[in-house]
Structure 1
């Protein structure tokens, strides 16, 4: 009846107007209606009282119409309060896992930046609960983008997720969080972060934040003092070695962040604590440092060693400064076959060395000797090996200046297979007559670390030798009097005649095969800018071949007796022997194209099966399991058999995550694995230091402020009140209410009836 359904029940309401007239207009309208009513009923003298009654009805009717023209409504007023939002953004990028926050100064205990955030939130839990009752607090995590989180329950320890993101975009994450919260007023955006971002502050997201009128309050976490990090990335050593052998331990260390300080690399025996070797690395800008340390085990069994970084200043993450390694030690002698064409000077001294060395079981054959000559060695031979079993009895085979014709093509093939499939080591000693020229047309030419032509000229002048970095990494050519790994200075002194090699073959660097490596080269050669290779090495199948271009090492005995020559040859022979030991245990090898690659780069994999009986039973497609650092299966890769080489399977993998992964094959008796390190080369992990300056700039550009963790309580006084108080007015119109229509019809009916009774027109 009164059209009040729209008004909330129980609310107070009063009369209002949609288009109210001013008072002067009301006065004119009332006077006009009054004059108009008198004019309508003028000049009638009959029943004056009835005329007055009808005029009053018309007057009321017109006044009601005038009132309706003002839009009369019934109004209900309600006060509304809209709370503002507080956006809390917590950095969950990878850099938040850096433990650079001092927890206990006395014990130098450190906690991660993420742990610092957790403690700050727990310590202020009551304040956050109070704010949550008064305001809408929205929790976000972010790294490359923001994502909403559940509000923390402060009655239990806060359990933040482990850092996930490899990228951080602080300004963009804040702008997106504001965009998804645009449904209500925003008090401020509170950011807990270390400030480390992929890029600087960008103008567009900053403009979006400023246009939204939201100030950013930053809480910088992490150490404000720049601290770099030394990371012991990898330690590589032979799985097996001989007792008393100089075992090379290759170490790769990465400098991360601003660290430029010097440090020591120390090799220790874990059981005794004895220091076996130490290398000093000077400070500098070099990001990656590679060094080789030498350990000499003197007991059988297993050598239990550790590699430790000892920085001059406190390191950011001490946990990544040490790795352990175990080396299985063998007391059995190394089996060596030495074949020489004629009794040249190098033969005489090398032969005596092999016979004298207790760790070597030698068989020596001098081909130029007559039948009455008694071949020397621990196991003298009357002829060269002619079967697979006879060749397999030797770990290392040394071929001097020997014509290829002393062996049949079948023996050439057997020796090649002994290296490629059996893992034997092959040591060539060049000569002026037959090696390598007479071997050019044989299968064994493939074992040379260089390509033809094989008619090698001599250098033509005395030269001195120096080892390369590859020799240091391999642990060979470490000649010294005091046990150090430094090349003797006397061998580099131009005034020392006995250190000069009077003859050596001249191999051009362009002749070297792509997979070969140079172990030693000339120091200086007249009219030559580039050094000339003197000793080269190449991996051949699962074995290894080394070529020495000179037979003048015997001259060093004039300066130091047998010591330098003995160290020179024994280290090369044992290097080949270690390769033979490793190969003896393998029936296959899984080789990645790189041992260390960035995320997203293609890694080529090759599986080669050396055992023919195993190869026959292998399927055309082989699955490779990729295991992450937690021991979980990350993915499976398929390797396809090569149509040209039936003993080879190839495939590719594109790693999506950083970490150390084990790639393993376990099928039909083949149980082999290899390890690959995948690095994230983004700024997130290359620069672990905080960037509090960028956070301060962000706060300044958005009209916010910086709240230090030590004064976190002041944060809650810095939150502006941007809640909105509004009055909601609900109106119910009266012009279309039924009772208005009834009133008008009643007034019209009364006037019409009265005029009919009085016989008025």
Structure 2
């Protein structure tokens, strides 16, 4: 529907350099002075001329001076177009899926759907009719995109356009247009699109009816957004200020490839809101991969009853030994007395149980002692096939490995051949950015294992090393610790002392069975306590929030508690 507009064009003569009458004084005085000077000069120079010739020359010079003066004043015809357009107000209504939530008390989560409350607000005569006394009202829906759903003319113009929907006889298909089916709330994108539509005719005001902040697209907090809209934005929040009481499954952490007979560590993460002290039954289920459609079901293989603490995120560990080969689906399901939203009561993860030799890539920056030890041990293990990529290696060299590589894998198919990559202080700058991104995808999407050992050659390089290189950010993101950045020449990245210190294991480190030196917890503690210790470690900034610290460097002179340098850490990535 085009906006009603009336245009009036006015033409006026104006001097470009004269804005007001007082602007004449200075140029007028300058013109008078120039004419007087010209008259005086010609009177002196024309003594020998006849009077008629002298007067003619003086007149011509005066005409030239006056002509130049008039050109300097920039005369011209100015045309002004005055366009009168009908004022309009834009109302944006959130139709994302969260608008279907029925709000009641924070504990019950029952009541009137948020979109219904928004429609009730719009149907109030005092709201729309007050706006329509002076403005045309345009209504939009937004979720992933902005869409106009109707216009309401000013009350005086109600009968002028037969295609315009009018308040008071609202068609029922408006309810269809406003179904809460959107997957995202792109409020910033909606406002940016509206600003583009109205750049030549800004709205008198913009009203936004929504239940939350923008969760996708450009930020609605952009300070330039109001400048582009050229109007005021008023918000009407719908929903609860207190989150409903709820317990849900956040995620299920497990390796994607499992070997028969090996204990498989499975960790479920629960998140709760206002449910401290409630009891939750946590069930671990498994079913064949062929029954993928039977979501939330399976054979129960473990269960725990958990009392929720004050912390919002709760870790629930399990351990299971798979004996059958094939593809399976693990399901973590909860049964809670706290009630709440049932849509997050379970999470499922596919896993595969395979029986083959473990494929390991030993990736080393040089033939360090640790690399040589690990290479020999893995080569002698009948369950492991090690490949070698030694960055300082020469063509034709001999190494204890099935294959000797001369480059880092360049495709996901090549990386998928390996279960684990063991990196002994390599120079990651020699791995192209595309190769680094493939490594990140292999870890995040295919469940590849990455073990990184720090060293003084490449990881310990303060200036010019990969720890400071912007192109190696992908590698730094994979690590469970934050490395030192923007370091100076004199700053120390590695610590080495004259006295050996045993690693200070955390509770998670003592429980990590792959670090056990003996078969029982007591024997393992005794074995580690008899260990003489280590002399050096890499100095990182801190462990990342999602990381699990297994051990700190034991020298107390470097700090206490969490301030000590991290020696061993792990994180679930992906």
Scaled by the length of structure 1, the TM-score of the pair is: 0.33
**Quick check: which has more Rg, 1 or 2?**
1
Which one scores higher on RCO, CA 8 angstroms, separation ≥ 6? 1
